[in-house]
Amino acid sequence: MKIIDLRSDTITQPTDEMIEAIVNAHKEGRFGDDVIGEDEVVNELQEKASKILGKEAALLVTSGTQGNLISLFAQTKRGDEVVVEERSHTFMFEGGSMASIGGLYPKPVKGERGYILPKTLESVISPDDAHYARTSLVVCENTHNYAGGTVTRPNQVKALADVAHDNGLKVHCDGARLFNAAVALNIPASKLVENVDSVQICLSKGLSAPIGSIIAGTEEFIHESHRTRKKLGGGMRQAGIIAAPGIIALEKMVDRLNEDHENAKLLYNGIKGIPNLVVEEPETNILFLGLQNLSISQMKLAEELAKENIKVYGGYGVRTRMVLNRMVDREDIDRVISALERLLK
Ligand SMILES: Cc1ncc(COP(=O)(O)O)c(C=O)c1O
Query: Distance from the CA of 49 to the center of ligand 1, in angstroms?
Result: 18
CA of 341 to the centre of ligand 1 (A): 30
Q: What is the pLDDT of residues 230-263, one digit of tens each?
A: 999 999 999 999 999 999 999 999 999 999 999 9
Delineate the domains of the chain, giving CATH numbers in brackets: 16-251 (3.40.640.10), 256-344 (3.90.1150.10)
Q: What is the mean pLDDT of residues 199-207?
A: 98
C-alpha of residue 295 to centroid of ligand 1, in Å: 31
Nearest C-alpha neighbor of 233 from the set 40, 101, 137:
101
Q: Which atom of ligand 1 is nearest to the CA of 174?
A: 3
**What pLDDT digit, counting tens, does each position of 165-192 carry?**
999 999 999 999 999 999 999 999 999 9
This prediction's pTM: 0.97
Cα–Cα distance, 345 to 342 (Å, whole number): 6
How does pLDDT run across 270-286, given as a tens digit for each residue?
999 999 999 999 999 99
DSSP 8-state secondary structure symbol assigned to residue 150? B
Is ligand 1 within 6 A of the CB of residue 32? no
Cα dist. 231→62, 266, 271 in Å? 13, 45, 48
Distance CA 55, CA 35 (A): 21
pLDDT band at 315 (very low <50, low <70, confident <90, very high): confident
